[in-house]
Amino acid sequence: MLLVAFLLWSSNFEACNARRGRHWRQRRGPSGSLAKKKGKNHGKGNYHHSGGSKPKSPPHKAPSLPPPKPKEDLPAPSPPPKGSNGGHSVTFNVLDFGAKGDGSSDDTQAFQAAWAAACKVEASKVIVPSASIFLVGPISFSGPYCQPNIVFQLDGTIIAPTNSKAWGGGLFQWLEFTKLRGISILGKGVIDGRGSVWWQDAPFDDPVDDESKLIIPLNSTLEKHPPMPIRSQLGMRTMPSIKPTALRFYGSVNVTVTGITIQSSPQFHLKFDSCMGVLVHDISISSPGNSPNTDGIHLQNSKDVLIYSSTLACGDDCISIQTGCSNVYIHNINCGPGHGISIGSLGKDGTKACVSNITIRDVIMHNTMNGVRIKTWQGGSGSVQGVLFSNIQVSEVQLPIVIDQYYCDKRTCKNQSSAVALSGINYERIRGTYTVKPVHFACSDSLPCVDVTLTAIELKPLQEQYHLYNPFCWQTFGELRTPTVPPIDCVQIGKPPNNRVQSDYDLC
Ligand SMILES: *[C@@H]1O[C@H](CO)[C@@H](O)[C@H](O)[C@H]1NC(C)=O
Ligand SMILES: *[C@@H]1O[C@H](CO)[C@@H](O)[C@H](O)[C@H]1NC(C)=O
Ligand SMILES: *[C@@H]1O[C@H](CO)[C@@H](O)[C@H](O)[C@H]1NC(C)=O
Ligand SMILES: *[C@@H]1O[C@H](CO)[C@@H](O)[C@H](O)[C@H]1NC(C)=O
């Protein structure tokens, strides 16, 4: 069923082609028909088999040895089983590989062994049973030589170590899946990064969200930012300075994550890097609003991405879309607390960034810093083309609509003339309440934003604890398709007079 969904909308894997046309807007829509599908079989109390499959004794009992090959009671000469359609997928329960699931024994080896066995069998299942808590250290479920379409059935809880020794000098991720063809994480389970030990150690050079500069409290004695967790008393760091992402997929095709909860990550919760065909739905991400840099879902270099029906609460962007992403469709998201949904930051340190064909719709945001935002650094190149933000319901959001082409999370940044070019940025039905400024469009002097359209914008002020501002626009060209509340007169209608063309080098 999910694969069918992919067939409907995937197919264009070209990197960063300039998509000048507007026709992409008409061609979307298949995902709306995707029915909610929750995992249906979770073997309660039966640790040894996935719910639906026939009883079959897992043949391996020796955790310390390389696990033997699973018994093949599938007809040998016939083609390999296709997916789990037959209900015959071979299962590998981590408990059979020596995992204790008691929340304190180190189960890393057992997970490694279960994976090594599952890797050899197409459409096999790794079972992480419910009612157990598995302490698992940093681990890579690595796949260049694995069979396709492995399912990671996660119904139990996986927790991260909180002692610094487990992390060596610092790692970029905790649970990593790499170079797989068809990998699914399904179930009702929980991935708990137990990040509070890392948040307390937030180093001084952790990036601070640039937009906080725009948020001026009325009462200057109030703290500028939500109170950060208190640094360790002696200024001694107990955890490494590099903080891991909880769950990361790298270089994989056809990745699905559904049903699970990811909470309290030291840093980002869920990251897709260089993946093609990503499906995420009915997941939950949860961390405190003041936990530093705990983005919900981070997309980078990934194409054909569909994310829907998920609840994201964290201390940074609920979803962040980075360079190299195209054909991304996100809908039915609850976001908050957090910093909203962002494209960027792009073009840091003079890099080229390419992002195109992004749709974000049917989102509810409550008590977030930003609503929908595009942020680029000065000095970058490349482009963001074809973005639709539609039906975004905001309540008590500080800055609902933001384009910031002067992004700078350090103290000062040099003025530079090159920029990531923004065009075809469409906002429709953005409604609700704001507490600082309804619209902030700060576009590049040298490459103004073009084809910015606003339709049915209705944003009402709520004076809480911040100075309120009128809409702001700088070098922003486009169209107001309906009257807006408040009036956004600062958008310049039409095209910029001397619309500088990007050099070929800058084109995506
Ligand atoms: C990914 O899924 C699609 C749709 O099911 C399929 O056509 C394609 O072959 C898959 N790609 C890989 C590399 O498995
Ligand atoms: C300003 O904030 C401080 C500390 O929160 C509080 O004690 C004071 O009463 C506030 N003043 C006003 C005018 O709200
Ligand atoms: C844009 O992305 C959607 C998926 O979100 C896809 O269906 C559509 O074909 C893409 N449009 C273009 C022009 O690639
Ligand atoms: C950058 O340009 C802005 C606007 O022209 C100006 O106000 C600011 O002082 C400049 N900053 C630097 C560091 O040159």
Which ligand 1 atom sits nearest the alpha carbon of residue 253? 13
Distance between CA 88 and CA 53 in Å, rounded?
6
What value does the mean pLDDT take over residues 15-29?
37
- Is residue 62 domain-resident? no
In this predicted structure, which of 114-123, 405-414, 473-482 has the lowest mean pLDDT? 405-414
Q: Report the CATH number that the domain containing residue 379 is assigned in CATH.
A: 2.160.20.10
Pairwise CA distance, residues 383 & 368, whole Å: 27
Judge whether 376 and 407 are in contact, CB under 8 Å.
yes
Is 277 near ligand 1, meaning CB less than 6 Å away? Answer: yes
The arithmetic mean of pLDDT across residues 149-163, rounded, is 97
Do 355 and 305 belong to one domain? no
CA 14–ligand 3 middle distance (angstroms): 11
- Is the same domain home to 359 and 251? no
Ligand showing the shortest atom-to-Cα distance for residue 330: 3
- Specify the length of the chain in residues: 508
The bound ligand whose nearest atom lies closest to the alpha carbon of 464 is: 2
218 lies in some domain: no
219 alpha carbon to ligand 2 midpoint, in Å? 6
Question: Do 296 and 376 share a domain, yes or no?
Answer: no
378 lies in the same domain as 260: no
Query: What is the pLDDT of the chain when averaged over all its residues?
Result: 84
Question: Using only C-alpha atoms, what is the Rg of the chain?
Answer: 24
pLDDT band at 57, cuts 50/70/90?
Answer: very low
pLDDT tens digits for 133-155?
999 999 999 988 999 999 999 99
Helix (H) or strand (E) holding 362: strand 352-366
pLDDT at 205: 63
Q: Residue 49 catalytic?
A: no
Q: Which ligand is nearest to the CA of 329?
A: 3
Q: Which of 8-17, 33-42, 122-131 has the highest mean pLDDT?
A: 122-131
What gap in Å lies between CA 27 and CA 287, rounded to an integer?
A: 36
* 253 C-beta closer than 6 A to ligand 1: yes
Residues 307, 348, single domain; the answer is no
> Confidence class of residue 59 from pLDDT cuts 50, 70 and 90?
very low
Q: Check pLDDT > 50 for residue 27.
A: no
pLDDT in tens, 68-104: 344 334 333 333 333 344 556 899 999 999 999 999 9
- Which residue, judged by its Cα, is nearest atom 13 of ligand 3? 24
List the domain range (segments joined by +) for residue 119: 83-201+238-316
Measuring CA to CA, which residue among 3, 31, 12, 23 is closest to residue 327?
Answer: 12
Q: Per residue in 188-241, pLDDT tens?
A: 999 999 999 999 876 666 778 888 889 999 876 555 554 454 454 445 668 998
How far, in Å, from the CA of 105 to the mean position of ligand 1? 38
Residue 219 beta carbon below 6 angstroms from any ligand 2 atom: yes
Which of 11, 254, 302, 306 is the best mutation target for the ligand 1 pocket, counting ligand atoms within 8 Å of the beta carbon and taking the most?
254
- Per-residue pLDDT band at 114 (split at 50, 70, 90): very high
Nearest protein CA to atom 7 of ligand 1, as residue: 7
Q: Which position among 269, 281, 331, 339 bears the catalytic label?
A: 339
7 touches ligand 1 (CB under 6 Å): yes
Count of structural domains within the chain: 2
Single out the residue in 301, 316, 331 at which a domain terminates. Answer: 316
Cα-to-centroid distance, 250 and ligand 4 (Å) = 39
CA of 154 to the centre of ligand 3 (A): 31
Whether residues 378 and 300 share a domain: the answer is: no
Pocket residue to mutate for ligand 1, from 2, 6, 147, 183, most atoms within 8 A of Cβ? 6
Instruction: Pick from 25, 34, 321, 327 the residue to mutate for probing ligand 3's pocket: most ligand atoms within 8 Å of its CB.
Output: 327
284-297 in b/e form (b: 16+ CB < 10 A) is bbbbbbebbbbbbb
Asked if residues 179 and 251 have their Cβ atoms less than 8 Å apart, the reply is yes
Whose structure tokens read 């050079």?
Answer: 205
With a 6 Å cutoff on the Cβ, whether 28 touches ligand 3 is: yes
Q: Is residue 21 scored above 90 in pLDDT?
A: no
Give the pLDDT band (50/70/90) at residue 36.
Answer: very low
122 and 165 housed in the same domain:
yes
Residue 74 within any structural domain of the chain: no
Residue 308 lies in a domain: yes
Q: Residue with the nearest Cα to atom 11 of ligand 2?
A: 219
Condensed to tens digits (0 to 9), the pLDDT of residues 382-398 reads 999 999 999 999 999 99
> Do residue 448 and residue 355 come from a single domain?
yes
> Predicted confidence band at 370 (pLDDT cuts at 50, 70, 90)?
very high
Task: Judge whether residue 250 has pLDDT over 70.
Answer: yes
Judge whether residue 49 has pLDDT over 80: no
Indicate if 190 and 288 belong to the same structural domain: yes
Overall average pLDDT of the 355-372 stretch:
98
User: For residue 327, which atom of ligand 3 is closest to its CA?
Assistant: 2
Q: Say if residue 280 is in the same domain as residue 404.
A: no
Give yes or no for residue 12 having a pLDDT over 50. Answer: no
For residue 475, the ligand closest to its alpha carbon is: 4
Predicted local confidence at residue 219, as pLDDT: 77
Q: Is residue 144 part of a domain?
A: yes
Ligand 3 atom with minimal separation from the 356 CA: 1
List alpha helices for 194-353, DSSP H: 196-199
Asked whether residue 148 is domain-assigned, the answer is yes
What pLDDT, on a 0 to 100 scale, did the predictor assign at position 405?
Answer: 97
Residues 259 and 387 in one domain: no
Q: Look at the pTM and tell me if it is higher than 0.75.
A: yes
> In the chain, what percentage of residues exceed pLDDT 70?
76
Residues in contact with 315: Cβ distance below 8 Å, sequence separation at least 6, in sequence order: 199, 287, 288, 289, 290, 291, 292, 293, 294, 337, 338, 339
pLDDT at 327: 98
Report which residue type is found at 478. G
Could you tell me if residue 253 is inside a domain? yes
pLDDT in tens, 307-363: 999 999 999 999 999 999 999 999 999 999 999 999 999 999 999 999 999 999 999
The predicted model gives 372-384 an average pLDDT of 96
Residues 309 and 404 grouped into a single domain: no
Any ligand 2 atom below 6 A from CB of 218: no
Tell me the CA–centroid distance for residue 284 and ligand 2, in Å: 36
37: in domain: no
**What's the whole-number mean pLDDT along residues 39-51?**
35
pLDDT, one tens digit per residue, over 446-502 is 999 999 999 999 999 999 899 999 999 999 999 999 999 999 999 999 999 876 666
